[in-house]
């Protein structure tokens, strides 16, 4: 799925949910720009899969911006539209993530 998502980002075939837009705007650690999401997904890796999500399976992508900012983006690929859908985006809390890749045990 990552290759499909990255290709959609390169081809500007990306749809941001209202939730993602709100999270990007209201991020406590500073607004996240579309360019930062592009950079993070383009160089990112899938750290969690959500195969049972509907209407499309999704995944959590971790990547860094050119300036090194860590970004998590939950994305899905809509095959009939050949479009990446960004469900949510946030800067991960280092107290809740180990190397921004694994969740800290509760």
In order along its 106 residues, the chain shows pLDDT tens digits of: 999 999 999 999 999 999 999 999 999 999 999 999 999 999 999 999 999 999 999 999 999 999 999 999 999 999 999 999 999 999 999 999 999 999 998 7
Domain ranges across the chain? 2-95
Q: Which pLDDT belongs to residue 37? A: 98
Query: Going by C-beta distance under 8 Å and a sequence separation of 6 or more, which residues neighbour residue 24?
Result: 16, 31, 32, 33, 34, 37, 89
Using an 8 Å Cβ cutoff, are 63 and 45 in contact?
Answer: yes
pTM for this predicted structure: 0.94
Q: Which pLDDT belongs to residue 86? A: 98
The architecture in CATH of the region 2-95 reads 2-Layer Sandwich (3.30)
CA distance linking residue 93 with residue 79, whole number of Å: 32
Q: Which pLDDT belongs to residue 9? A: 98
CA distance linking residue 101 with residue 4, whole number of Å: 21
CA distance linking residue 64 with residue 19, whole number of Å: 21
């Amino acid at each position: 799925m990552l290759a499909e998502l990255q290709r959609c980002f390169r081809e500007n075939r990306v749809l941001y949910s209202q939730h993602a837009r709100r999270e990007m705007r209201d991020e406590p650690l500073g607004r996240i720009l579309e360019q930062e999401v592009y950079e993070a997904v383009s160089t990112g890796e899938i750290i969690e899969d959500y195969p049972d999500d509907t209407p499309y399976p999704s995944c959590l992508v971790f990547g860094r911006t050119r300036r090194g900012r860590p970004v998590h983006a939950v994305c899905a690929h809509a095959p009939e539209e050949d479009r990446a859908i960004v469900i949510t985006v946030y800067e991960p809390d280092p107290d809740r993530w180990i190397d921004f890749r694994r969740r800290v045990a509760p």
